[in-house]
Structure 1
Amino acid sequence: MLIREAAADDWPRIWPFWHRIVAAGETYTWDPDTSEDAARQLWMSPAKRVFVVEDAAGVVVASACLTPNYGGPAARIANAGFMVDPDHGGRGIGRALAEHLLAEAKADGYRGMVFNAVVETNPAVGLWISLGFTILGTVPEAYDHPARGPVGLHIMYRAL
């Protein structure tokens, strides 16, 4: 497994699983009908550091983006987004990518990382807790899950 910074020409390899995950409507607060152009602008923004994970065959199986969560005097708190192709889940790819991004964020001078809206039913909540994130609070019934109905959104934080 190789984790590297993404190049612009990686987008066509990210989009299929990005679209699949967002369209499922179970883990991200983005519109499930987000167009490919809008998705590229969200994920591949020049203001973000974007990473990909390639398997041994060179297939992009995951991606993550790192950006300041706030601006100005609060710009040392990071935010990140993570997506692992569902066909490649359960292999430790998400954990390896998260550990890599946490190290990159610290090296970039961030003092902490916050996730603003983690769907409480997202299986990744356990991963984030195992990596030292805490749930600062939960906005109840803030997310309309397609199978479970209204569920909460966690705000999670970890110092770096």
Structure 2
Amino acid sequence: MAPALPAEPHPTGPPAEGTIRIRRAAASDWAQIWRLMEPIVRAGDTYCWDQDLDDDGARRLWFEPPPARVYVAEAEGRIRGTALLHPNRGGGGSHVATASFMTDPAASGRGIARKLAQHVLAEAAAQGYLAMQFNAVVETNVRAVALWQSLGFRILATVPRAFRHPSAGLTGLHIMHMDLTEHGA
């Protein structure tokens, strides 16, 4: 059984035309989130997830128990992006956050990924995280790498041949890091 999500009310009414609203996800958002995520998971070119992952398995992966938080980006009355924020590690490493992001390819180029990323970085800082680390940014995902670098992330290392890309073959996974105290996120 999937973990329960907080019962948060939806804001009243859809966002104004052309605006992007970021909010915490509610349990009732899952069907829209999965519709957005499923083609990304099936493509197998950006996440180290099983391409045959089903709805229930994806929900368990995305909706982790607290302190994890899931956010959605809405535009035109639809969820166009989602992010999962949680500690990168437990115990002595719990002051460093990590996050995963998925955005609707149909809404590409409209600033949704950037706005969602900025929101999650600000949330991470507000929750007391000192840094954010990404453990597996696929090297061939050049748009994501460029976005993260433009927001202040650095590539600390690239693990060679660590990802089996469906068309590019074996490619590297970047470990990326950003100090949230230096960037005023």
The bucket for the TM-score relative to the shorter chain is over 0.9
Q: List, as ranges, runs of 4+ consecutive aligned residues in structure 1 with deviation greater than 3 Å.
A: none
Shift of 1:128: 0.3
1:60-101 superposed Cα distances (whole Å, 9 cap, x missing partner):
110001000011121010010000011111111000000000
Tell me how many residue pairs correspond in the alignment: 159
Letter in 2 for 1:38: G
Aligned mates of 1:117, 1:63 — CA distance in 2? 18
Look up the SS of the partner of 2:101 in the other structure. strand
1:12-32 superposed Cα distances (whole Å, 9 cap, x missing partner):
000012111011011000111
Q: Where in structure 1 are there 5+ consecutive unaligned residues?
A: none
What is aligned with 2:55? 36
What is aligned with 2:35? 16
What is aligned with 1:70? 89
1:125-150 superposed Cα distances (whole Å, 9 cap, x missing partner):
00000110001101101111111111
Q: Where in structure 2 are there 5+ consecutive unaligned residues?
A: 1-19, 181-185
2:119 counterpart of 1:100: yes
What is aligned with 1:49? 69
Letter in 2 for 1:70: R
2:160 counterpart of 1:140: yes
What is aligned with 2:21? 2
Look up the SS of the partner of 2:29 in the other structure. helix
Aligned mates of 1:44, 1:10 — CA distance in 2? 11
Look up the SS of the partner of 2:64 in the other structure. coil
Shift of 1:58: 1.5
Aligned mates of 2:64, 2:57 — CA distance in 1? 10
Aligned mates of 2:147, 2:78 — CA distance in 1? 23
Aligned mates of 1:17, 1:61 — CA distance in 2? 7
Shift of 1:46: 2.2
Aligned mates of 1:53, 1:142 — CA distance in 2? 30
TM-score (norm 2): 0.84
What is aligned with 2:99? 80
Coordinate RMSD, CA, aligned: 0.7
TM-score (norm 1): 0.97
